[in-house]
Amino acid sequence: MLRSTLYVLACAPMAAFAAGSDTPADETKAPTPTETTMECADGQVWDKETEACVEVESHLLDDDSLFGAAREFAYLGQYSHARGAILAMQVQTDGRAETYLGFTARKLGDVDAAMRHYARALEQDADNLLARSYMGQGLLEQGDFAGAKRQLDEIRTRGGAGSWAEASLAAAIRTGVTYNY
């Protein structure tokens, strides 16, 4: 029993950071599927108040709800829906929005826009490890191994050793395969 517990704990850091940023607890793991992706169609988001699916532009949803939906869409590879949810947020210029705008732009093929969003996220918070990881993966996809390595070094310097941001970028550098989330 002790051996299996130790094994689980040893694997926990990678699982804990499997799909999100390294700060708020709800963003350190894959989003739990909600009615947004189980019940709603075509990028609609579940509104808890009305208990119905609504359009992201409806102005019925707060930024945290829209951000949660964006993460859920991104995790499922629905990048245009994720982007739509971020663009419906009242504040699209904070670090979390800029990071996900960068991620979705990159996944939708607009690497230049992605790099601009990542840079803006890092201007606001140089310790945004997720933006650094996604930027590094974008640089790697462009063949800029040295740039990707610089982002990995920054992640480690800024206390991100052992985080999902570090592990995913290190694996991408090692294997050449970037993450879809």
Residue 75 lies in a domain: yes
Of 19-33, 51-65, 66-80, minimum mean pLDDT range: 19-33
For residue 16, pLDDT beyond 80: no
Question: What's 73's domain CATH number?
Answer: 1.25.40.10
Residue 102 lies in a domain: yes
Residue 7 lies in a domain: no
Mean pLDDT value across the chain:
84
Residue 23 lies in a domain: yes
Beta bridge partners of residue 46, listed in sequence order: 53
Residue 3 lies in a domain: no
Is pTM, for the whole model, over 0.85? Answer: no
CB 73 within 8 A of CB 79: yes
CB 173 within 8 A of CB 152: yes
pLDDT in tens, 2-15: 333 333 333 333 33
What pLDDT is recorded for position 132? 97
CB 68 within 8 A of CB 82: no
In degrees, rounded to 5, the angle at the alpha carbon of residue 116 between the alpha carbons of residues 175 and 173 is: 10
Range of the domain at 140: 13-175
pLDDT in tens, 79-132: 999 999 999 999 988 999 999 999 999 999 999 999 999 999 999 999 999 999
Domain count, the chain: 1
Residue 112 lies in a domain: yes
